[in-house]
Chains A and B, each alone.
Chain A
């Protein structure tokens, strides 16, 4: 395990050093990209000065809102759909093709329909996230062993008890996977939409800084977004592994 960490650390360190060397040698000019240590310095300056705090908060609030809506809607509709086989069979080709469709292509349409506010961004985040939640929920429910269902019947549990004592604990890892995917998709949807066209938010600030050649703002903000998404992904993946390990599945 520690050998693995060492290897990963070496990979990250060599990428940073390579970039630093390329910048120093002038292969990457300053207009394209400042050297990594300058980016990190600007990053801390930005954080300590509390600059863009409002923008960051706004984007993250929208991400969480899109995530929560997609998660609740996805789990509920996945559970309902699991009971109706015909409906599920009809929707199955949609689920299989869904992530091949460029959902962002709908963004212009949503702007025309709802105006250039938070609405279209939330909708894109929601649409990107919701199907992953539905599919993962269905997948978890499919795997519920029939012996557990029988146990519930033998013990005469009512539907609520069955859900709370049997189904929910069994599906917990799947619900966690669904949360991980939904959060990543909501993040991509909201930040991506802000980026394409918006009036505020982190994505908007990056594209604004790009238009103004403001690398001292652009790179720290990009770094912040990368760190946030990687951190969220790592924490949830780690938790996922812990849950699976407890079941002896990994």
Chain B
């Protein structure tokens, strides 16, 4: 029993050590021209964190990301519940949402830029369009898969629509919805960073693109490392909660 509980943790540690070894090995093969070692990267990241400029970029990225996530979650839940409760529109819209999900949304970025202008609102809009669809799709499936007996019980008890959603539909759909939120979180982050890489004057994505023209490998590697670290650790945390919700 206890060994089973430890196994995933042990595997994660082995994986992380393996990835660092791979990184070090790649560094030893490619060399100083295009890569930095893990140790050098972390040292530079430490140095970077002592500059004021870095915190300005980070704050800008985080602000855009937080706003985009809030919009994606709110609209995604709204669309998901509306389509999940209405059979015909749900059946009709689901494949369309899946098709929209598969397009390279980055091609829509110029349109968003033309509509919002270069600045934080374009980044927020772009991050949000990445996150809305997965949240909506997971919510739709969650609402639709609620056991009919639960809904019948609600009807027998003559619950009002508001109580029906808050006391029956939402609690029953929470595990699936949470999976949607987890995926939405990751995609919104990806969207926000992508937006910053294409056209922005601030943010971590901008810092990355700027580093190419300066050929600043230290900066590229430490910002990439920071982004990966952030995305991976938050996702791992959400994944643990997600699994608890599904099995608990």
Contacts and interface: CB of A to CB of B under 8 A. Distances in A.
A167 interface: no
B231 A11 contact: no
Contacts of B157: none
Interface stretch (B44-52, B164-172, B220-228): B220-228
B2 interface: no
B232 A104 contact: no
B186 to A, nearest CB: 4
A232 B224 CA distance: 32
A210 B186 contact: no
A106 interface: yes
Interface stretch (A40-48, A140-148, A154-162, A183-191): A183-191
Nearest to B235: A100
Given A113-B30, A197-B209, A100 B197 contact: no
Interface string B95-115: 110111011111111110111
Given A93-B12, A229-B102, A105 B95 contact: no
A218 B52 CA distance: 38
B14 to A, nearest CB: 5
Interface residues of B, number: 62
B199 to A, nearest CB: 8
B192 to A, nearest CB: 9
Interface in A203-229: 203, 206-207, 209-210, 218, 221-222, 225-226, 229
Interface stretch (A1-9, A72-80, A170-178): A1-9
B188 to A, nearest CB: 11
Contact of A90 (B18, B89, B102): B18
Contact of A112 (B14, B215, B232): B215
Nearest to B18: A90
Instruction: Determine chain A's interface SS by DSSP, over half rule.
Output: helix
B93 interface: yes
B98 A237 contact: yes
Contacts of B108: 222
B160 interface: no
Interface string A102-145: 10111111011100000000000000000000000000000000
Contacts of B106: 188, 191-192, 195-196, 203
B102 A7 contact: no
A94 B190 CA distance: 17
Nearest to A103: B190
A108 B209 contact: yes
Contact-residue size bin, chain A (C-beta under 8 Å from the other chain): 35 or more
B96 to A, nearest CB: 6
A233 B223 CA distance: 34
A25 interface: no
Given A104-B190, A105-B227, A97 B107 contact: no
B115 A7 contact: no
Given A89-B7, A93-B8, A234-B99, A100 B232 contact: yes
Given A90-B11, A99-B186, A108-B220, A192 B93 contact: no
Contact of B15 (A3, A93, A206, A221): A93
Given A32-B111, A102-B228, A234-B99, 6 more contacts: A7-B89, A100-B234, A105-B193, A187-B102, A230-B100, A234-B95
Interface of B: 7-8, 11-12, 14-15, 18-19, 30, 34-35, 88-89, 91-93, 95-96, 98-100, 102-111, 113-115, 183, 185-186, 189-190, 193-194, 197-198, 205, 208-209, 211-212, 215, 217, 220-221, 223-224, 227-228, 231-232, 234-236, 239
